[in-house]
Structure 1
């Protein structure tokens, strides 16, 4: 007795079924081979010309570099904060006006110089040049204002400093 007769299956259907299964398996095999090829390319790109031991060394090297970068980041951050705190007391705004202090003197040898920090604190230097000599005066500026009356050239220099960009 034949196995096909025993189960009641026609031999022709069995052959067609097996052929379909073989085609399906071949299709799955091709798909699987394509996927493995892609994985091999990625693996080769990742590994390069190295083996697993040297890959471990490369990873350790990168981690050390990363730690160095983090450390230098914090160092730079603290230096920047220190510089910012020092910037508050440095002169950042300037205004300069050159003028003739006396009618007989030409060439604009006299000047008013305003120097201010970020908070508009500082001073105005006024140097007046004459035939007898040079006279220099300084007036303190607090929050953009002077408690001593300013000459027109000094006011102009102060305004230039206050509007300095």
Structure 2
């Protein structure tokens, strides 16, 4: 069965049965692709319905705006916390952080180690040494200023031990 239409296309020698089989295969392939697309659309629709469950576009928009506001609040809180931490660090930098105390007998005849040298230093090794000497008739207390771990006045043995203990390098 020769058709002039197929002949004009240059397919005059091909059997129409083969053309019909090829067309049937193409139609079958298109049907399969259509079924796959329908299944994909159903999955997407289910996901969309779960995502939008109980919400309309306005409420979803409000949710997103709320999340952005929360994020902004958190960022502001973090910045405030950073500033507060820096302020606290500056305050604690000058507070006494290092302590050294040595108890001793100032006079051999008095027992009990009632005398002491107390070194109080900040982060930069600035502070003072409080020395208290107990005798049988009185108690004498005096201080010596410490700057950068050094004293302008000569230190006694116990005072130096207390200072070294406070600085973490007891000898």
**TM range, normalised to the smaller chain?**
0.7 to 0.9
Instruction: Identify the residue that residue 37 of structure 2 maps to in structure 1.
Output: 32
Q: How does 1:8-157 map to 2 (within 5 A)?
A: 8=12, 9-40=14-45, 42-44=47-49, 46-157=51-162
What is the Cα-based RMSD across aligned positions, in Å? 2.5
Structure 2 residue ranges without an equivalent (≥5): 7-11
Return the index of the structure with the highest Cα Rg: 2
Q: Which moved more, 1:36-45 or 1:62-71?
A: 36-45
Q: Aligned equivalents of 1:40 and 1:75: distance in 2?
A: 44
Instruction: Identify the residue that residue 6 of structure 1 maps to in structure 2.
Output: 5
Q: Which moved more, 1:72-81 or 1:2-11?
A: 2-11
Q: 1:163 aligns with which of 159, 162, 168?
A: 168
Q: Aligned equivalents of 1:83 and 1:124: distance in 2?
A: 25
Q: Aligned equivalents of 1:112 and 1:132: distance in 2?
A: 19
TM-score, normalization by structure 2: 0.80
